[in-house]
Amino acid sequence: MPLGRRALLTGTAGSLAAATLPVRAIAAPRPTEPSGLLHGLGRRDGLFERLPVEDPSRTLLARGWLFHEGDITPPAPVTHDDTYSNAKAGNARGAAAMDYDDSDWAAVTLPHDWASAQGFVETANVAQGYRPRGIGWYRRTLRLDPADRGKRLELHFGAIATAATIWINGSIVARNFSGYNAIDIDLTPFARFGDELNVIAIRVDANAMEGWWYEGAGLYRQVWLSKRAPVSITTDGVHCDPRLGSDGRWSVPVTVALNSIAREMAAANVLVDLLDPAGKVVASARGQAQLPPLGEAEVALSLPVADPQLWSIETPTLYTVRVITDAPGGGDERRIAIGFRTIRFDASQGFFLNDKAVKLKGVCLHQDHAGVGVAVPDALLAWRLQRMKDTGVNAIRCSHNAQAEAFYQLCDRMGFVVMDENRVFNPAPENMAQLEWLVRAHRNHPSIILWSVFNEEPMQGTEAGVEMVRRMAAQVHALDDSRPVTAAMNGSFYDPKNVSSVVDVMGFNYYQGDYDKFHALNPAKPSTSSEDTSAFMTRGAYTTDKAAHVLSSMDDEAAPWGATHRDAWAEIAKRRFIAGGFVWTGFDYHGEPTPFTWPTIASFFGILDLCGFPKTAYDIHRAHWIDDQAVVGVAPHWTWPGKEGQPMPLLVTSNAERVRLVLNGRMIGEQAVDRIMGNRFTVAYAPGRLEAIALRGGREVARAVHETAGPAVALRLTPARRQMLGDNEDVVPVTIDAVDAKGRHVPTENRTTRFTIDGATLIGVGNGDPNSHESEKAPQRSLFNGLAQMLVQAGEGRGKVTIVASADGLRAARLVIDRLAATPRAQVAVTPPGAFILGWRRSRSFATAPDPGMTPPVNDNNSWDFTRSGTPAAPEAGPSFRLYRAALPVRRRVVAEGGTLSFAQIEGRATVYVDGRQVAAKTDPAAGTLVVPVPAGAKGVAVLVAAVPGARSGITGAVRLAPKG
């Protein structure tokens, strides 16, 4: 039986209610489960549950795209005719032209980051990870059903990296200069229907850089097509964030923005329902609006709610606001998840959620992952967030830009609070529009608790900077009055003019020594660490070798402006007035290879590496942040051949009362737990079994174990899940490691592994090595300090995914993942390839047949009509003849080998000429088809149509050019 949106969750964790946590990629560890490099990576207790659809009018436009890497510069117009045409709507030239030859472009599926497939080049930008980005083009042909006439049609691009120009049917419809905001395009006035196809062309300039990190390139988020009623709800047009009144009563104020493309005045009825977590309607309201043609209106309603279940980090309970409109021409609908919660930042007591003090245990996140760059599928994003949950994270800062819509939905459902951050610090209209989009698009999410208007801006201590923030903050508050505004400042806190005076919450990037001084000078200003730590670790390495660009994972390396993980949290934890912190960073990320440059291509800051494999910082922060279960970790691993008898420094981290260290059954020592700084032991290395035992009340509550591994003899494959949805979208990360003869993980193995996959697609590989230049797309990857990762994306339908991994000198590993039947999300149909003649020049009507060689005079743009396939000529009283002329679309294979020209419908008798030679004739005046041969190298076609008196005539269907065969 196909699985719907509420996929069954199975395994040791049992079922989870959709209203609390519908995504489970990894279970929480058992108290006695050994920690280590594989911790949490191989749980098999659930399926990724697809996120609910907010706007049911949207259909994915992920397939059917063609991609060309590199720019395509059209030839400059020279003749008068070319220059005249170039200035007209629909007459784009070059790769934006409707009839451009894209037959040799690569077919791609979205999301797509072309930079992730690039090699590393020393002369490329260091901050972008030494990957060339450049310019690329995308094209997509789209067929719209004639039944869609009269509907509001909209294209929604989740984001494009970076500067994009978008054409529809040869007309520029949008220019966008940021790689992080969504782009919504009203397709309606440009749309063509039936066999007259639509062409979307996009030029992407990824040379444009907004950040100092890896930003990717291309259509790296999803694209959707919406088909809505003539009177419909505006995109991001519903605001429904709950409020708690001063009388202690809850309500949901709902504002619904409507727009109309109708030709007449229209009345729209609006019904709003509130559904509880079980789907039961618990409140309703109705309203009505009058909309003029091409006009807008708003309907404001309020839903009183008695004693709702609250949304919290521990219990992220979600309700649904359902908005349904009814107007002439049809209805529209939105389903928006909301949460009932209160937030406040107190200047002396920190952050409160539902009037309960909550320390923000946060991380900063960029959006890329090993193997896929920034084109991260939803299931992988859910897995990444679950890795953060396992670390004890409760707060995420979007660094330094908006994330994908799925990110916010997942945070709502998984129980994270979020600092949402604006990208460009500039109140100019273009940039203010991006800030407005950010707030409108995300203001209904209960996870969001802060709006950040900038990160580390040099103008933060100037009068101009203050005025800029004032305007940006005012705009945010006008759109959302329920959340405070902050700015991530890295200095200038005490300057006479600085932006801390005009934000609601002070955000410190580092400067931990200034917490107390600032608080003393500004006792009424709430404060948080907006960014802290910046510690360095190479996963699996425990001594620093700067010549090799390797940094110890023992938490003793940090940037000059930062601190170790333990020192940074110590400063935050001891001060109640600091609301919390955001570690730089949760994951390593491509680019910004601080403190090194070439050949290092990624960062060292992460608690987890590029693949989500844990560093020592993972166990450090679990001890800091997890309160509801006992945890313990010990570093380093215990496989050190050749170091027998040498003193080995150990770091044990736990949240228990005491820790005991045992080696080969002999107690080495026991200490009272230092939860923040951890516990240090020094042990003479001896192979065997090293155990760190956490005690509470004298009783063991958790244990971490490392065993000395022998030589590697085999590979092992460990999936994050043993099942996946057969929907062409689900992704499962699979860990590759080597084991010894007793099945123990070998943390020092680095040999190359190769793999084959059947029943799924390999979309990326990685190993977490910030110095590796191996391909992230090839079906092979070296282990790095014992680990590598492959990302496997499901095919369609029920079946088996079989993965085989091999390496020289090791026994191969075989893994089978069950692919379950699941209904794929609806996709816009892919239009079959082929070139269409859309534009024709049509002569005036003649009483007798004109010379078929006749052409429009040079520079004459008036005596011959510009017409399109599918457009009939009006009936005339007597016999009439019209000549149609067009250039044949250039298609390389047709030019070389010849092809066929198919007329879906011609009305009237017709004679067809190719390059002046008659090639076919239609003698029946009734509407009919015609297929004619096209010789190799042909350039133009002419059609002489003879109309029957009183009947319409002409080329009234699509005209398609195809290669032979």
660, 693 Cβ separation under 8 angstroms: yes
Helix (H) / strand (E) containing 384: helix 378-391
Q: Over 50: is that where the pLDDT of 461 sits?
A: yes
State pLDDT tens for residues 378-395. Answer: 999 999 999 999 999 999
For residues 496-521, average pLDDT: 97
pLDDT score of 42 = 54
Q: Over 60: is that where the pLDDT of 419 sits?
A: yes
User: How sure is the predictor about 85, in pLDDT bands with cuts at 50, 70 and 90?
Assistant: confident
State pLDDT tens for residues 616-650. Answer: 999 999 999 999 999 999 999 999 999 999 999 99
- Can you tell me the distance from the alpha carbon of 720 to that of 742, in angstroms, rounded to the nearest whole number? 23
Helices marked H in 236-350 — which ranges? Answer: none
Backbone angles phi and psi of 106, in degrees to 5: -80, 140
Q: Over 80: is that where the pLDDT of 23 sits?
A: no
pLDDT score of 4 = 33
Helix (H) / strand (E) containing 504: none
pLDDT score of 2 = 33
- Chain position carrying tokens 């919450």: 505
Q: Over 90: is that where the pLDDT of 831 sits?
A: no
- Can you tell me the distance from the alpha carbon of 182 to that of 186, in angstroms, rounded to the nearest whole number? 13
Q: Over 60: is that where the pLDDT of 22 sits?
A: no
Threshold 0.85, pTM exceeds: yes
Rounded alpha-carbon distances, angstroms, from residue 632 to 121, 361, 652, 665, 722: 42, 18, 7, 18, 27
Q: Over 50: is that where the pLDDT of 144 sits?
A: yes
Residues 6+ apart with CB under 8 A from 938: 888, 894, 898, 914, 915
User: How sure is the predictor about 900, in pLDDT bands with cuts at 50, 70 and 90?
Assistant: very high
State pLDDT tens for residues 92-103. Answer: 899 999 889 898
For residues 742-751, average pLDDT: 97
Nearest to 199, CA basis, from 161, 162, 166, 157: 166
DSSP assigned state of 961 = E
pLDDT score of 99 = 85
DSSP assigned state of 218 = B
For residues 315-344, average pLDDT: 97
pLDDT score of 39 = 56
pLDDT score of 15 = 25
For residues 346-353, average pLDDT: 98
pLDDT score of 428 = 96
pLDDT score of 837 = 87
**Weakest-pLDDT range from 75-84, 165-174, 235-244, 917-926:** 75-84
User: How sure is the predictor about 429, in pLDDT bands with cuts at 50, 70 and 90?
Assistant: very high
Q: Over 50: is that where the pLDDT of 11 sits?
A: no
For residues 910-937, average pLDDT: 95
pLDDT score of 41 = 61
pLDDT score of 45 = 54
Q: Over 90: is that where the pLDDT of 947 sits?
A: yes
pLDDT score of 21 = 28
**836 against 303, higher pLDDT:** 303
**929 against 861, higher pLDDT:** 929
Residues 6+ apart with CB under 8 A from 397: 362, 363, 364, 365, 418, 419, 421, 452, 530, 531, 582
DSSP assigned state of 379 = H
Q: Over 50: is that where the pLDDT of 573 sits?
A: yes
User: How sure is the predictor about 16, in pLDDT bands with cuts at 50, 70 and 90?
Assistant: very low
929: exposed, middle or buried (Cβ count in 10 Å: 0-12, 13-18, 19+)? exposed
pLDDT score of 964 = 83
As a whole number, the mean pLDDT across the chain is 93
For residues 343-360, average pLDDT: 98
pLDDT above 70 covers a percentage of the chain that reads 95
State pLDDT tens for residues 808-827. Answer: 999 999 999 999 999 999 99
pLDDT score of 91 = 85
pLDDT score of 38 = 55
Residues 6+ apart with CB under 8 A from 331: 229, 324, 325
Query: What is the secondary structure of 534-595 as a DSSP string?
Result: -B---TT--S-BGGGTB--SSS--B-TTS--HHHHHHHHHT-TTB-EEEEE-SB--BS--TT
pLDDT score of 33 = 36
Structure-block tokens of residue 614: 């844990």
Q: Over 80: is that where the pLDDT of 834 sits?
A: no
pLDDT score of 858 = 84
pLDDT above 90 covers a percentage of the chain that reads 87
Parallel/antiparallel/unpaired status of strands 940-947 and 909-914: antiparallel
State pLDDT tens for residues 554-563. Answer: 999 999 999 9
Q: Over 50: is that where the pLDDT of 514 sits?
A: yes
Structure-block tokens of residue 36: 């280590």
CB atoms within 10 A of CB 329: 17
User: How sure is the predictor about 870, in pLDDT bands with cuts at 50, 70 and 90?
Assistant: confident
Nearest to 951, CA basis, from 847, 877, 849: 877
Angle at 57 between CA 51 and CA 60, to 5 degrees: 60
pLDDT score of 97 = 92
CB atoms within 10 A of CB 553: 27
Helix (H) / strand (E) containing 376: none
- Can you tell me the distance from the alpha carbon of 731 to that of 708, in angstroms, rounded to the nearest whole number? 33
User: How sure is the predictor about 7, in pLDDT bands with cuts at 50, 70 and 90?
Assistant: very low
Residues 6+ apart with CB under 8 A from 878: 847, 949
230, 125 Cβ separation under 8 angstroms: no
pLDDT score of 832 = 76
pLDDT score of 312 = 98
For residues 69-76, average pLDDT: 93
Q: Over 70: is that where the pLDDT of 5 sits?
A: no
